[in-house]
Amino acid sequence: MAGDVKGDLQAYDDINVTPMLDLAYVLLVVFIIMTTASVQGVKVTPPLTQATNNLAKPQTKGITITADGQVFLDAYPVSLEQLQTNLAQYKAANPALPVVLKADAAAQYEKVMEVLEIAKKLDITEIGLATKRLQ
């Protein structure tokens, strides 16, 4: 019976690659999520204040004004006319539309006022100004 041990062994002609593919898919998904998460938003330097602000609410729309006066709505560049049109659509869908205005500290005050005037025309009352807290 000792000679039959050789008959029980099988040669492995193929390798099971399923675990390796599962790992590859997980790494691909993580890579996609990390790269898309890092490109959202526009980089600005907000003004410094001592007050704390907690402006995170669901369906909050973010308006960003860069130092050179360019306006973004949720990280997409828009003109002031496009901003008014888009905000009017969002306001029609959500009457209590919360908006956060994030302007660079070096941005022209006139551009900030133009955006605030648009919000006033559309009767957007929940508007917050994003600042950076002093350390």
> What is the per-residue pLDDT for 74?
86
Class of domain 48-133: alpha beta
How many whole angstroms separate alpha carbon 110 and alpha carbon 44? 17
Return the pLDDT at 81.
Answer: 92
User: Residue 94: what pLDDT?
Assistant: 85
Domain boundaries, the chain: 9-38, 48-133
**pLDDT by position in tens, the chain (length 135):** 555 555 555 666 777 778 888 888 888 888 877 766 554 566 767 666 665 555 455 678 888 888 888 999 888 889 999 999 999 998 888 888 888 888 888 888 888 899 999 999 988 888 888 877 766
pLDDT at 39: 47
pTM strictly above 0.85? no
